[in-house]
Chains A and B, each alone.
Chain A
């Protein structure tokens, strides 16, 4: 039975609370330590008390990092796009953007003390995002009003009378379905890694070779500031009804991403853009029934010229809009979620497509699973990820886990003879199911509402892990315990040993190193004392080498000096 009561109200303990909420951490770890004493470090943290990426979660992380690592012009894993009309629900931009958000969730909740891998992947995804094949659809799409299309397959498109030539620049006007994601990705990069590279003028460079060959390419220079300004101004000019995605169409879900992007920008730059946009956009959403108060479902879109809201009941729209709006409108989304769950999930997983379901499951499935994860409906997440494992042909590729696209994912809805969904598109199979599996309750909410502060960036953390050989499934610095907890598992490339470097240790402190619950001894940079498999580097970092036949957990805990001196 798929119906259930949801535990999404206040009172649940999130993973982030475990990491940074000192009181909760102390109580929880303390209780666990009573049950499982740690040999050699009686009051030390027990790694199993901290969240770790499971084998499947790590597989999704690896697949998304593989996507980031592909050459910018290599789209072979990302499905087939119309050569001109690149955009669809599976468009490259959505795959890169949601991969970035999923990796952000993995980093924040499981491996906040392992930055370089995720920082590099984030930068690579942004690099891929600004590669011309990802955004140059806009030079074509911006010429047309396609709001006349119908679910039955009718596609009334016409050239717009005003600005009939559209725009090449993908950010300057409308197209928030692209620029909003770019803003969110850049904002996350800055706030998660304290990396300000995109504040540099021209750091987001768009190059377009016009069809009139023989002329120099057009260059459009952006940076975090300019992107923010361009987007905020459009919110303001449109009286906060939302920025158009396609011409003449405002989608609620597309406008959630720039809001999250503005929240990050405000955090990093001390500005106040996001409160104004959130309050005014919410006002319009309520006044215009962007989410229908009767059906509790998100509109299809607002036709701007006709000033007409087109209502809808689509699992993808509710999942997409809800998971992001939850970040700044938590209570409201959690109130309507049970209605949406009841509306979609039975028909999606057991029944046949009907009016309560999107016209294709290839993206409905993924976005709704993501919403379920964000609101903390772990039971539905489990059911949906189990369903994907059973019916979507899970595939391991170069250490990564994905669900391959079915051939007809764009337009056809099909089920097998037993009624199971066969239709998997790349945004679901590459990114969304994995994102849902990785993202804990309130996963994005915590990233934006309890962001890393400057002290986080001064804490001990690990670097220089051989990514091909080792998977870091857990990397947390517990400030209350003054301890770094790390778990490594074998990666896709076999190796007998592997190493990692611990940075930002306090040279005045002594540390106890515990491996798999066994104390290996005490070390100190100032005394130059080492243990087998450890080495102090010139810059004060500690290099630890270990065999890697199976997963190993490490705790590096500061020890009171008087204890160490004994």
Chain B
């Protein structure tokens, strides 16, 4: 910031001097201007900033950066507050539980872009180590989506989340209770236990908590990916996700040093 202000001041002095016909400005004295002097100059000549489109753009960039930082910081706070929820035994995850970066996918089993993204995510999971991939159930496509989310958590209780999730994400048939149960039977789930767990008030409360987490992160649809403290909305590619993971790892490594 100090460097930016000093540059502004330098330009200001040069312009002022040029306007006054003083071509032999003493650059050394300009370089020695203190931030206080720069500030004083800008207070007396605010039009200098307002009238300069380049400076206007630079200020816009800084403001956008700050806004992004503020939003990222807010997401970090929310995720820290809800760490217990993300570590709940009801939360399905894959990868490394103790990794520096958490990757949350908010999805719905009837959301076409979510299903289209599934192979991309599988690719990321296969190649990226040291990441905790969390499955965020966000059923927003109606009753059968809600039932599918409940069934997925119930499958997680039986230790068969991954095959059930894979089967639902790759299914081409419409989702209904018959297909949910048939898929469950195919992957070897105990249907009686599944039915009971799908009505367990603890499972229902858990799903409501996950929804509230999504709302607090300003998730307004599916799929949405929370990668570290970044947010990506809508369909994406493995390469984009990996790039964001790299950025997040770098940030975390810097932060923990």
Q: Are A and B part of the same complex?
A: yes
**Cross-chain contact B177 with A494 (CB below 8 angstroms):** yes
Contacts of A399 in B (CB 8 A): 142-143
Given contacts A71-B215, A212-B63, A214-B67, contact A491 B143 (CB under 8 A): yes
Please state if A214 and B143 are interface contacts (CB–CB under 8 Å): no
Q: Categorize the interface residue count of chain B.
A: 20 to 34
A468 pairs with B146, CB closer than 8 A:
yes
Contact A493 B140 (CB under 8 A): no
| Distance to closest chain B CB from A209 (angstroms) | 8
Contact B140 A214 (CB under 8 A): no
How many Å lie between the Cα of A492 and that of B214 in the bound state?
A: 26
A41-82, CB < 8 A from B = 66, 70-74
Query: Is B64's CB within 8 Å of the partner chain A?
Result: yes
**Given A71-B215, A71-B219, A214-B63, residue A493 in contact with residue B70 (CB < 8 A):** no
Contact A494 B176, beta carbon cutoff 8 Å: yes
Asked if B39 lies at the interface with its beta carbon under 8 angstroms from chain A, I say no
Instruction: Specify which of A73, A398, A464 is in contact with B142 (CB 8 Å cutoff).
Output: A398
B221 CB within 8 Å of chain A: yes
B220 contacts which of A66, A73, A397, A491 (Cβ < 8 Å)? A73
Partner of B221, one of A71, A209, A397, A398: A71
Chain A residue nearest to B71 (CB atoms) is A209
Complex alpha-carbon distance, A190 and B62, angstroms: 45
Query: Taking the nearest CB of chain B, how far is it from the CB of A214, in angstroms?
Result: 3
Contact A216 B143, CB 8 Å, known A74-B220, A494-B176: no
Asked, given contacts A70-B140, A495-B177, whether A214 binds B219 with beta carbons under 8 Å apart, the answer is: no
Contact of A492 (CB < 8 Å), options: B138, B143, B211, B215: B143
CB–CB B215/A214 < 8 A? no
> How distant is the Cα of A71 from the Cα of B140 in the complex, in angstroms?
8
B218 interface residue, CB < 8 Å from A? yes
Bitwise, B32-75 to A at CB < 8 A (1) or not (0) is 00000000000000000000000000000011111100100000
* A477 to B34 alpha-carbon distance, docked (Å): 79
Q: Is B241 an interface position by the 8 A CB rule?
A: no
Q: State in angstroms the CA–CA spacing of A464 and B200 once bound together.
A: 11
Bound CA–CA A74/B143 (angstroms): 17
Is A535 in the interface zone, CB < 8 Å from B? Answer: no
B66 lies within 8 A of A213 (CB):
yes
Please, how many angstroms separate the alpha-carbon atoms of A338 and B70 in the complex? 58
Chain A residues contacting B76 (CB-CB under 8 Å) are none
Contact of A493 among B138, B177, B201 (CB under 8 A): B177
Chain A residues with Cβ under 8 A from B63's Cβ?
Answer: 212-214
Q: Please name the residue on chain A nearest to B147 by beta carbon.
A: A493
Q: Which of A274-308 contact B (CB under 8 A)?
A: none
Instruction: Give the distance in Å from the alpha carbon of A70 to the alpha carbon of B64 in the complex.
Output: 30
Assuming A214-B62, A214-B63, is B220 touching A493 (CB within 8 A)? no
Q: Given A213-B63, A213-B67, A216-B70, are A66 and B142 also a contact pair (CB < 8 Å)?
A: yes
| Interface membership of A356, Cβ < 8 A | no
Task: Name the B residues within 8 Å of A72 (CB-CB).
Answer: 215, 220
Q: How far is the CA of A145 from the CA of B191 in the complex (A)?
A: 63
CB distance from B184 to the nearest CB of A (A): 15
Is B193 positioned at the interface, with any CB of A under 8 Å from its CB? Answer: no
Which of chain A's residues have a CB closer than 8 A to the CB of B147?
468, 493
A466 at the interface (CB under 8 A from B): yes
The complex places the Cα of A216 from the Cα of B220 at a distance, in Å, of 21
B162-205 to A contact mask, C-beta < 8 Å, 1/0: 00000000000000111000000000000000000001010000
B65 partner residues in chain A, CB cutoff 8 A = 214
B242, CB-defined interface residue at 8 Å: no
Least CB separation from B67: chain A residue: A213
A495-B211 Cα distance, complex, nearest whole Å? 24
Q: Is the CB of A73 within 8 A of B66?
A: no
A72 to B217, CA, bound (A): 11
Name A76's closest neighbour in chain B (CB-CB): B221
Number of contacting residues on A, CB 8 A? Answer: 22
A216 CA to B63 CA, complexed, in Å: 11
| Alpha-carbon distance A443/B140, docked complex (angstroms) | 32
Residues of B within 8 A of A493 (CB): 143-144, 147, 177
CB within 8 Å of B: which A14-65 residues? none
What residues on B are CB-neighbors of A213 within 8 Å? 63-64, 66-67
Separation in Å of the A535 CB from the closest CB of chain B? 14
A window 72-104: CB within 8 A of B: 72-74
User: Which chain B residues numbered 81 to 122 have a C-beta less than 8 Å away from chain A?
Assistant: none
- Set B146, B178, B199, B221: member contacting A74, Cβ < 8 A: B221
Q: Which residue of B lies closest to A467 (CB)?
A: B143
Chain B residues 120-147 with CB under 8 Å of chain A are 138, 140-144, 146-147
Within 8 A of B (CB), among A210-239: 212-214, 216
Are B214 and A71 in contact (CB-based, < 8 A)?
yes
- Residues in A whose Cβ lies below 8 Å from that of B138: 71
List of B residues within 8 angstroms of A66 by Cβ: 142
Chain A residues with CB below 8 A from B199, complex form: 466
Query: Distance in Å from the Cβ of A313 to the closest Cβ of chain B?
Result: 41
Please, which residues of chain B bring their CB within 8 A of the CB of A71? 138, 140, 211, 214-215, 219-221
CB distance from A501 to the nearest CB of B (A): 11
Closest beta carbon of chain B to A57's beta carbon, Å = 19
Distance between A287 CB and nearest chain B CB, rounded to angstroms? 47
B195 vs chain A, min Cβ distance (A): 9
Residue of B nearest to A69 (CB): B140
Distance between Cα atoms of A399 and B220 in the complex (Å): 22
- Those of A153-185 within 8 Å (CB) of chain B: none
Residue on B with the closest CB to A397?
B142
Q: How far is the CB of A414 from chain B (nearest CB, A)?
A: 31
Residue from the list B143, B215, B219, B220 in contact with A468, Cβ < 8 A: B143
Q: Given A71-B215, A71-B219, A214–B66 Cβ distance below 8 Å?
A: yes
User: Smallest Cβ distance from B50 to chain A, in angstroms?
Assistant: 14
How far, in Å, is B218 (CB) from chain A's closest CB?
A: 7
Q: Write out the residue numbers on chain A whose beta carbons fall within 8 Å of the beta carbon of B201.
A: 464
Q: For B139, give the chain A residue with the smallest CB separation.
A: A69
Residue of B nearest to A212 (CB): B63
Is B218 touching A214 in the complex (CB atoms < 8 A)?
Answer: no
- Interface CB pairs A-B, < 8 A, 28: A66-B142, A71-B138, A71-B214, A71-B215, A71-B219, A72-B215, A73-B219, A73-B221, A74-B221, A209-B67, A213-B64, A213-B67, A214-B62, A214-B64, A214-B67, A214-B70, A216-B70, A397-B142, A398-B141, A399-B143, A466-B199, A468-B146, A491-B143, A492-B142, A492-B143, A493-B143, A494-B176, A494-B177
13 extra A-B contacts, CB within 8 A, seeds A214-B63, A493-B147: A71-B211, A71-B214, A72-B220, A73-B218, A209-B67, A213-B66, A213-B67, A214-B65, A397-B142, A464-B201, A468-B147, A493-B177, A494-B178
Listed in ascending order, the chain A residues whose CB lies under 8 Å from chain B are 66, 70-74, 209, 212-214, 216, 397-399, 464, 466, 468, 491-495
A-B interface, 9 closest residue pairs, ranked by CB to CB distance from nearest? A73-B220, A214-B66, A398-B142, A214-B63, A213-B67, A468-B143, A213-B63, A493-B143, A494-B177
